[in-house]
Amino acid sequence: MNLNESAPGILPCQAIETLIAGGAISAATPFEPIQIQPASLDLRLGTRAWRVRASFLPGHRTVAERLADVIMHPIELTEAGVVLEKGCVYIAELQERLALPPGVQARANPKSSTGRVDVFVRLLTDRSRAFDDVADGYDGPLYMEITPQTFSVLVRPGTRLNQLRLKVGDPPKLEVRDVGVDLTGEIAGFRGRRHAGVVDLDKVDGHDPRDFWEPLMPRGGELLLDPGEFYILVSKQPTEIPVDQAAEMLPIDPSVGEFRVHYAGFFDPGFGVDEAHGKGSRSVLEVRSHEAPFLLEDGQTVARLVYEPMTERPARLYGEGGSHYQRQGLKLSKHFRAWPDRG
């Protein structure tokens, strides 16, 4: 695949595999097939992390050089797992490393399961002046800033918290759609419990949701967001991502309210596309209010979804071979068992 001849767009899984085979993306341990998504690459924690006293951007320095100013203590990640405590800031080495060819840049975002447990993660690269964006032709290591906010979490080497989307050029914005919130169900959402236990981020269906979440039953189609609280809600409209496009939900738009929506903003080609059912999938919304209480009403616009072209159709689409979130409605992260029926 000649990337220089590609029209601007997001690279599909087969192009990611080509970059890996050519050494543009390498790793400390062999890549796992599950890492390569239709339009992104899951990144894995390495064995070293540091508790730091403040977030930072490296600017004209490397991340390692800047770390020396803020380290509180080092942490060795082991297979037994290490607890990262809520309210603390950590920097972790990732197993993957980049040597991108000219014309290829990248952007990172938390995985859906990471955002749904209110773990705020951002990618750091050497000499960068912005989080999550990887410069054209970047050659160097990758690091992650990790800040658990509602729950303390257990992680290990290999835990996948964020994903990298690679692109050629500056893809055009094909469409921008408003996303409204649904507050009509008997249970219309969940609010995180502040004094819950630890969430093991590698344990699927391993936690009782009642220990971590409080169900929300809005009256009259309204919900009051309290400052500093974390909510799981769901979109009013179903979402479908065409097989030759990808999408990103804007994490915050002050014009629709003083709150942040959706930490995990990537939607892969084929999300919500189900020829057998044809109903699409609704978007789960990770919502945190800011300084002031904010009253939401049913159907209110809370975010915007931006569509971009792929350079070519992915060889695999979202949901093929199974997915925790295809055809979803209101749904907690994969770490939790289904909410028990009241009957």
- pLDDT digits over 113-165, tens only? 999 999 999 999 999 999 999 999 999 999 999 999 999 999 999 999 999 99
| Phi and psi torsions of 164, nearest 5° | -115, 125
pLDDT for residue 53: 97
Return d(Cα 155, Cα 241) in angstroms, integer: 31
Task: Give the three-state DSSP class for 114.
Answer: helix
Residue 293 Cα to chain centre, angstroms: 25
pLDDT for residue 242: 93
Pairing between β-strand 71-76 and β-strand 25-27 as defined by DSSP bridges:
unpaired
Tell me the mean pLDDT in the region 84-107. Answer: 97
Residues 67, 93 contacting (CB under 8 angstroms): no
Instruction: Give the pLDDT confidence of 17-69 residue by residue, as tens digits.
Output: 999 999 999 999 999 999 999 999 999 999 999 999 999 999 999 999 999 99
Residue 276 has pLDDT above 50, yes or no: yes
From residue 21, give the alpha-carbon distance in Å to each of 28, 98, 167, 215: 14, 12, 17, 47
Residue 339 has pLDDT above 50, yes or no: yes
HSE-CB at 18 with a 13 A cutoff on CA atoms is 13
| Phi and psi torsions of 13, nearest 5° | -60, -40
In the structure, what pLDDT confidence band is assigned to residue 343 with cuts at 50, 70 and 90?
Answer: very low
Residue 275 has pLDDT above 60, yes or no: no
Q: What is the mean pLDDT of the chain?
A: 90
Instruction: Give the pLDDT confidence of 73-92 residue by residue, as tens digits.
Output: 999 999 999 999 999 999 99
